[in-house]
Amino acid sequence: MTVARRDLLLGSAVVGLAGGIAPARGFAATAIPANGAGALPMPAPTDRLPAALPVQDAARVLMDRGWLFHEGDIAPAPLDTHNATYVSVKAGNARGAAAVDYDDSDWQAVDLPHDWASFQPFVKTANVAQGYRPRGIGWYRRSFRLDPALRGRRIELEFGGIATNATLWVNGSVVAHNFSGYNAIRIDLTPFARFGDEANVVAVRVDAEAMEGWWYEGAGLYRHVWLGDYAPVSIATDGVHCDPRKGADGWHVPVTATLTSIAASEAGVTVEARLLDPQGKVVAQGQATATVPSLDEATAHLDLSVTDPVLWSIERPVLYTVQVRLLRDGQVADERRVPIGFRTIRFDAARGFFLNDKSVKLKGVCLHQDHAGVGTAIPDALIGWRLERLKAMGCNAVRSSHNAPTPELLDWCDRLGLVVMDENRQFNPAPEYRAQLEWLVRRDRNHPSVIMWSVFNEEPMQGTPSGVEMVKRMAHWVRALDDSRPVTAAMNGAFFDPVNVAQVVDVTGFNYYQGDYDRYHRLNPTKPMTSSEDTSAFMTRGAFASDPVRHIASSYDDEAASWGDTHRGAWKKIAERPYVAGGFVWTGFDYHGEPTPYEWPTIASFFGIMDLCGFPKVAFDIHRAAWVDDEAVVAVAPHWSWPGREGQPTKVMVLSNAERVVLRLNGKTVGEAVVDRLMGNEWTIPYAPGRIEAIAYRGGREVARAVHETVGAPVALRLTPARTVMAGDSEDAQAITIDAVDARGRHVPTANLMTRFAIEGGAIIGVGNGDPNSHESEKASERSLFNGLAQMIVRPDAGRGRITIRATADGLKPATLRLDRLGVPARAQVPVLAAETDVRDWRRSPPLAAKPSPDLAPAASDNNGWAFVRAGTPTPAEAAGWRVYRASVTPRRAVAARGGTLRLASVGGMASLWVDGVMVAEKRDPKPGPMTATLPSGAGKRTIVLIVAGLGNIESGLLGRVTVAPR
């Protein structure tokens, strides 16, 4: 594509998308910044949806919709009587916001993923490491029903991640405590579940004051929640291990299936495994049998041989699928479909990392899990977009810093061809933290992208005997679950101490200390090593002069932390040493929190190759030049719009992977040099408005050109999507770029003005501009351009149609963007229940010979004379007589204010219904039937009494659900 054509494409693609959008060609067309004169420094839009992520377990259904959220803690009322104390410690009788019947009617409705910290203002007194955002305590609640047909099946609820410490209740019983924000929490709901009309209530108290990291960690239910139902004998979650191996006899896939049972007796089952190639063809299959004890686990083992599979690689990430089915009595009871990749990995002490016996330098970045506008609640599609941005600059490796990543990140890495250093959070071999480490390995060990397990990051005990003993145990547990990948630890010192953890890991991880590479290799010639973290350089996107007073760092790659190096210097030390397997730049993106090198009012880091929004800094082109091998790269910095600086010396950087570059200003050659791919080429020339261009040559032939022009004043806004289509599933998300253009349609890199947004057919879930010093809200419908750019994150409404986005700014022509919303079916969600209160818990009198008064009640301390019964529990046929059923309910605030409707789904026997001593309904037919009455408005506890006359020959009483609903 010529420079002129690329400019035209970008210009037409973003004004209402009136012009046609050329389909993207791989990563080169979707993620490489445009280098044309005045072009937007973001990729041209694609015209297709991203590929769907795999469904490994079809029995799981999302439960992301319909949550209610309350910010702040809720203390239960004091216990004021002996009976209240007695009842409070019984199963199912949680108090306060964890109680089944707690009034949450005025809580905020939210969908997941949800990070409530991302909604907070920046407060100077809040924790600096968390980005000056208050976190505190919050509550979530969700109700759902289970079909009676599910009774007897195994019901499991999984929270993908909760930041940070959490207590979870189901139906008034505590079911879990969790003390990490990064591991999944799995709850066997089977013994707590209620079926039919009676709703299940989940309550979660989240203490986000607890911190595990020194970076922004978010707050709340920031990953997916899943509800699964399984046969009584089923495959355990993460219970399939099928990582391919290559032996002397060729390739094979050892399959181990962990089986679990809630059945009443042991069960004999058959496990069937089939290997499917990328086209879905069966290329190998096998069976094994197992006997699964009741309320216990068993394993089944089998092996699939395969001849000459297509290998998974960074350039061609080919995935196969292992389909595992559990058969009981000849019928399929459970199934998993696990994507796998055939590849070999090894770390060589002299020559670094090998993938499929090919030397591969790890060109990696460290990542934290947050993005502008959404914090840690990153939609799945946005995770994929961020990784595509990395792949476009030649990145081939990701380190999950410093915690277990969301599983969707690994799914994307499998598909995009990125290898992963998978990192544990807590350095602790105590039972709770051992369980977290083992969970991580079980969950992730089938991913071909995962090539290393890291057991810690920068621990002070790394050079002590205690530290060595801790790592020995943790490495042993990892290897027991997965013996195909090496164990490493990201060390920041102690490499030469007499006792240090490098002695008990497979690969030594260097965090910085790059001056010690040679010495370490000389003293440990048989020990593989890699840079697990390097660089820590500072840049403010779009700024080319440092200003410490204003907390601005130059983009010329001349600023770095005292412990690190520039982007060019750090990579040079790695690239020139074949025995260093590669490196992981700190960091791929800027991130909230850990503001470095400045603190307040700075609220984010300056480390990123890209800013908080994924807009490229000069570092992006530095790494493209050093890392991209399969296409010509050239870039020039800075931009060329500097009014008032005419004639002043200006440093110009040219980054390229070609052989020779020529720098021209207004048609005149002002510099020429052999390319220094690692350090770039620099000239200082007097600034003159016009056109500056860098031309790259290889073999005497021009292979690439980068151009900047001096642009005019901004006259209009422009909106550029990542893609022109979105899935109408209410889950998809994408980043939309906002910029200003001059009268010739060229990007204005110096524009800093407020822009405002409106949307139809979707929602704006976050905004940003990449400014680490900005305190503007990230949840507003406006955002200032920062050095020419801003971003909104858009989520579509459900269904087909159009998404229309309009951007305005004072004095500029507005921009309108129209996107097609395709009719893509949404993933199944657990249905959201109507707003109503169940009156579940009743006291039932003994049988009475005479019709009682509605005032009849048990004594205050009587826990034995009157039965505790639940609505829907019939009273068996008995001698004719009377029973009194008593319950109390405090109507939700909406009902208390306006009144409501009291519904008894089914009552057996003749009956009268009383509220606060007043009869409100009567039933004269003894056959089972409903009763409905108006519940008058009024605050406080209401007493409901049902007097039932049983005939003695049929079940009587409360045969169904009892509810109070708003009018």
- Rounded Cα distance, 805 and 765, in Å: 13
Looking at per-residue confidence, does 880 or 427 come out higher? 427
32 pLDDT tier (thresholds 50, 70, 90): very low
- Looking at residue 831, its amino acid is P
What is the rounded CA–CA span in Å between residue 82 and residue 423? 50
780 pLDDT higher than 90: yes
Lowest mean pLDDT among 98-107, 667-676, 950-959: 950-959
- Does pLDDT of 364 surpass 70? yes
Query: Does 471 score more than 80 pLDDT?
Result: yes
Mean pLDDT lowest among 34-48, 467-481, 914-928: 34-48
Contacts of 606 (CB under 8 A, 6+ apart): 538, 539, 540, 553, 590, 596, 597, 598, 772
Q: What is the mean pLDDT of residues 401-407?
A: 96
What confidence score (pLDDT) does residue 835 get? Answer: 80
Residue 350, pLDDT above cutoff 80: yes
Q: What pLDDT score does 163 carry?
A: 96
Q: Which of the four pLDDT bands, split at 50, 70 and 90, describes residue 818?
A: very high
pLDDT at 785 over 70: yes
pLDDT score recorded for residue 320: 98
Mean pLDDT of 153-172: 97
Task: Indicate the pLDDT class of residue 363, thresholds 50, 70 and 90.
Answer: very high
Strand, coil or helix: 756 = strand
Tokens of 926: 């003894």
pLDDT value of position 834: 80
Q: Rounded mean pLDDT of the chain?
A: 93
Decide: residue 614, CB within 10 A, 0-12 exposed, 13-18 middle, 19+ buried.
Answer: buried
- Examine the pLDDT at 281 and tell me if it is beyond 90: yes
Contact 881, 851 (CB under 8 A): no
Structure tokens at 894: 């909406």
215 Cβ contact list (under 8 Å, min separation 6): 129, 130, 368, 591, 592, 593, 594
pLDDT confidence band for 625 (50 / 70 / 90): very high
pLDDT tens digits for 632-651? 999 999 999 999 999 999 99
Query: What are the start-end ranges of the E strands in 477-576?
Result: 487-491, 507-511, 529-535
pLDDT category at 35 given cuts 50, 70, 90 is low
Q: Can you tell me the distance from the alpha carbon of 165 to that of 481, in angstroms, rounded to the nearest whole number?
A: 27
The edge-to-edge listing of strands for the beta sheet with 634-637 is 634-637, 649-656, 681-686
Strand order in the sheet with 60-62: 60-62, 225-230, 154-159, 185-188
Q: What is the per-residue pLDDT for 92?
A: 85
Q: Which of 411, 267, 398, 263 is nearest to 337 (CA)?
A: 411
User: Is the confidence at residue 722, as pLDDT, over 50?
Assistant: yes
Mean pLDDT of 44-49: 94
CA-based nearest residue to 617, from 773, 421, 786: 786
Interval 441-464: pLDDT, tens: 999 999 999 999 999 999 999 999
Measured distance CA(257)–CA(825) in Å, rounded: 31
- pLDDT over 70 at 10, yes or no: no
pLDDT at 876: 86
Q: Can you give the length of the chain in residues?
A: 967
What pLDDT score does 34 carry? Answer: 41
Would the pLDDT of 28 be above 70? no
Task: Dig out the tokens for 545 from the structure.
Answer: 């002069």
The answer for residues whose C-beta is within 8 angstroms of residue 551's C-beta and 6 or more apart is 598, 601, 602, 772, 773
Tokens of 963: 């509810």
Kind and range of the H or E element at 930?
Answer: strand 929-935
